[in-house]
Amino acid sequence: MRVIVVGGGILGTAHALEVLRRGHHVVQLEREAEARGATVRNFGLIWVSGRARGELSTALRARELWEMLAADIPGVGFRPVGSLTLLRTPGEVAVAEEVAARGDASERGFRLMQPDRVRALNPALRGKYLAGLHCSRDGVVESRQALPAIREYLTATGRYEFLPGREARSLEGAGIRDDSGTRYDGDLTLICAGAAHGGLVREIAGELPVRRVRLQMMQTAPLGEELTTAIADGDSFRYYPGFAGMALDALRHNESQDVIARDHHMQLLCVQRLNGGLTIGDTHEYAEPFGFDVSEAPYSYLVDAVEQFLGRPLPPIERRWAGVYSQCLDQDQLLCRTSPEKNVWVITGPGGRGMTMAPAFAEQTADLIGL
């Protein structure tokens, strides 16, 4: 088959990869010179630890696929580093104790560690915390270099063509016409347009159960020492469904979140890049229209939080950015898949799961369609 993939982000690119693996040909359209949305503005976390029970198997499969992908494409920068969620209050420790005692703790790779064990695992964490929840299943990829590496691999097959600077404007059968009037014929079209919910997506699929979420993040200069795991703080318990339970209910009732963290719907996530710098975030903004600027208070809060855990000043901040991703609002679905026309699928709304689960989502889509 000849398959048209609209969208050059990780979701579209993972689908292109899966389609080729099943023996077909792919033409991938991207409206920018290269993907510039949530795919390259995230942590690159392959995040298993906080996934809800119903999505855990998909997350674990995705992590397996990332590891397999890295064997073929080392340029994606996959590292099975795991994560440490550092706990500052008794309520956060209680949540960690509860999830570490559950039946699925071994699947997630959970272990609750005292500070001496945390420092043995990640010696850079010389600061203040009561304990750490280790998740050995978490991993990291290099979000800014993964897509070019995958495209190079796909191009070498001779069955793939990446066409940047082409915006899909209209659907014609199972083909697409772009903004220059060029038509691309295919047997199947997969539209993975990210946070672009209007335009062609709205025209052919109507109003979907999705919303957009805006975040703020930053990147430091090289730290000068190795951060052997990804790190998070206890506020992440408030945003990931895998931590839901009586202890989290008690935490929310008894322990107030810092006012800046609360007002900006914040958690701390921190990942070291291959160049030694740290990617740090993030905030969540849900009400549109989003601001066009970034707020300084969350950045100051995040710097202070990381410095407390490291027990040392951070290197200079080299860049700051905002990003927007698409989140499915259907509680029974991990993302939104709909087929508004024969041989046409719109696939969007992975939310914060996109980088983690894209390879598994693509595998599921291919199975669903029968490729």
- 40 & 151 share domain: yes
Q: What's the mean pLDDT in 249-262?
A: 96
pTM: 0.96
Q: How far is it, in rounded angstroms, from Cα 176 to Cα 188?
A: 10
Looking at residue 87, which CATH number applies to its domain? 3.30.9.10
- 92 & 116 share domain: yes
Of 310, 328, 346, which residue sits at a domain end?
328
Those residues with Cβ within 8 angstroms of residue 176's Cβ, 6 or more apart along the chain or in another chain: 4, 6, 29, 168, 169, 170, 183, 184, 186, 189
CB 361 within 8 A of CB 14: yes
Is it the case that residue 261 has pLDDT exceeding 90? Answer: yes
Q: Cα angle vertex 142, ends 349, 150, to 5°? A: 75
Residue at token pair 């996109």:
354
DSSP state for residue 255 in the 8-state scheme: S
User: How many domains are contained in the chain?
Assistant: 2
- pLDDT score, position 331: 83
pLDDT in tens, 221-245: 999 999 999 999 999 999 999 999 9
- 169 & 253 share domain: no
- 93 & 200 share domain: no
Residue at token pair 């963290």:
261
Q: For residue 66, what are its two tokens?
A: 């990332």
Q: What's the mean pLDDT in 209-225?
A: 97
Q: Residue 109: is it exposed, middle or buried by C-beta count within 10 angstroms (0-12/13-18/19+)?
A: middle
Q: Residue 206: is it exposed, middle or buried by C-beta count within 10 angstroms (0-12/13-18/19+)?
A: exposed
CB 230 within 8 A of CB 133: no
- 173 & 52 share domain: yes
Looking at residue 202, which CATH number applies to its domain? 3.50.50.60
- pLDDT score, position 173: 84
- 234 & 149 share domain: no
- Report percent pLDDT > 90 for the chain: 98
Is it the case that residue 91 has pLDDT exceeding 90? Answer: yes
Q: How far is it, in rounded angstroms, from Cα 103 to Cα 292?
A: 45
Domain of 67, in residue numbers: 1-81+140-209+333-371
- 145 & 199 share domain: yes
- pLDDT score, position 332: 84
- 302 & 337 share domain: no
- 118 & 239 share domain: yes
- 40 & 162 share domain: yes
Is it the case that residue 81 has pLDDT exceeding 90? Answer: yes
Q: How far is it, in rounded angstroms, from Cα 252 to Cα 247?
A: 9
- pLDDT score, position 226: 98
Is it the case that residue 286 has pLDDT exceeding 90? Answer: yes
Q: Predicted confidence band at 271 (pLDDT cuts at 50, 70, 90)?
A: very high
Is it the case that residue 345 has pLDDT exceeding 90? Answer: yes
Those residues with Cβ within 8 angstroms of residue 242's Cβ, 6 or more apart along the chain or in another chain: 49, 50, 51, 52, 53, 56, 99, 108
Q: What's the mean pLDDT in 337-341?
A: 94
Q: What's the mean pLDDT in 19-30?
A: 98
pLDDT in tens, 160-196: 999 999 999 999 888 999 999 999 999 999 999 999 9
The helix or strand, by DSSP H or E, that contains position 150, with its residue range, turns out to be helix 143-155
The chain-wide mean pLDDT, for the chain, equals 96
Q: How many CB atoms lie within 10 A of CB 183?
A: 11
pLDDT in tens, 115-146: 999 999 999 999 999 999 999 999 999 999 99
- pLDDT score, position 106: 95
Report strand pairing: 175-178 vs 317-328: unpaired
Q: What's the mean pLDDT in 312-334?
A: 95
- 224 & 311 share domain: yes
- 183 & 50 share domain: yes
pLDDT in tens, 59-80: 999 999 999 999 999 999 999 9
- pLDDT score, position 174: 82
